[in-house]
Amino acid sequence: MDREQSSAEQDVRTVAEQGPGSRRAAAQRLQMRQDLAAAAMELFATQGYEETTVDQIAAAAGVARRTFFRYFRSKEEAIFPDHDDTLVRVADLLASAEPDEHPLDVVCRGIKEVLHMYASTPGVSVARYQLIRQVPALREREIAVVARYERLFTRYLLGRFDAAVDTGTPGAAIPAGWQHGGDDDSMLAEVSAAAVVAAHNHVLRRWLRAGGHGDVEAQLDHSFEVIRGTFWATPPRGVRRRGTVVTPGATDDLAAPMELSATSALSATPGGEVLITVARTDAPLDLVLDSIRAALSR
């Protein structure tokens, strides 16, 4: 996994792995990062981003200029003080996931760590969002930060595919029907990782534009269901995806010709219109067909 071993990441690991004295020192370092970030945000809001210097940020936090550079490489970095340690938490979550948990569910749990980071301080998150919208350099920095999560999720998904191939027993490493084989696996891993991150960003920005109000986690859970249904859903017996008629208790022998008929109908007239019919799953087949005939005759 691609973990940039920044000062913040090492601090987080020190807190978890070393003795009380070391944990205290690491906690102090993390607190200093937060203090510097808070000073930067205050100055950016009151006098403008371009007008604020590193010297001013350091002075406002009560430290020397060289101390600032022990924690951040630039003033842009001070806007995103929590992402380094959040990235570590997400990486650890992926690494400790149970092998029988659906890989997409693991990735969704991972991106929730990022959401919790923003939701824990709504006021700061809203102010940061407003500032980022005004400063191109910060928007570019945000894009780079988002890309780190996406790469992490892609590598995790690819690793799950590789584990299935190495063991020779796909069902033991990933759910049945999840692996497609060949180049499709790498494509699906990248697309799924990008979709989860994009859904998170969409929900998060909508929440930030609303001033940090509303149940943002419930909104994110809904977006995950949409992604699961789009990329990873395995239809139960008797149920077919878009383009087929769904009937209760349908058998494979009946479903197969129906699926072929649907495929032929969709490709029969390339220049024609497409008809979409919505019906309850318990509706009698003859009524479903009658509604289709009526729609086609209009």
pLDDT tens-digit map of 232-279 = 655 434 333 333 333 344 444 434 444 444 444 434 444 555 556 666
Query: Which has more confidence, 248 or 224?
Result: 224
Instruction: Tell me how far apart the terminal alpha carbons of the chain are, to the nearest angstrom.
Output: 57
* Rounded mean pLDDT, 78-82: 83
- Asked if 193 and 107 count as a contact pair (C-beta separation under 8 A), the reply is yes
Residue 226 tokens read as 């949409």
Confidence of residue 183 (pLDDT cuts 50, 70, 90): low
The owner of tokens 């371009």 is 50
Q: How far is 203 from 13, CA to CA, in rounded Å?
A: 30
Q: What amino acid is encoded at 43 in this protein? A: L
Q: How far is 57 from 71, CA to CA, in rounded Å?
A: 12
Element (H, E) at 282: none
Q: How far is 18 from 21, CA to CA, in rounded Å?
A: 8
* Rounded mean pLDDT, 129-139: 88
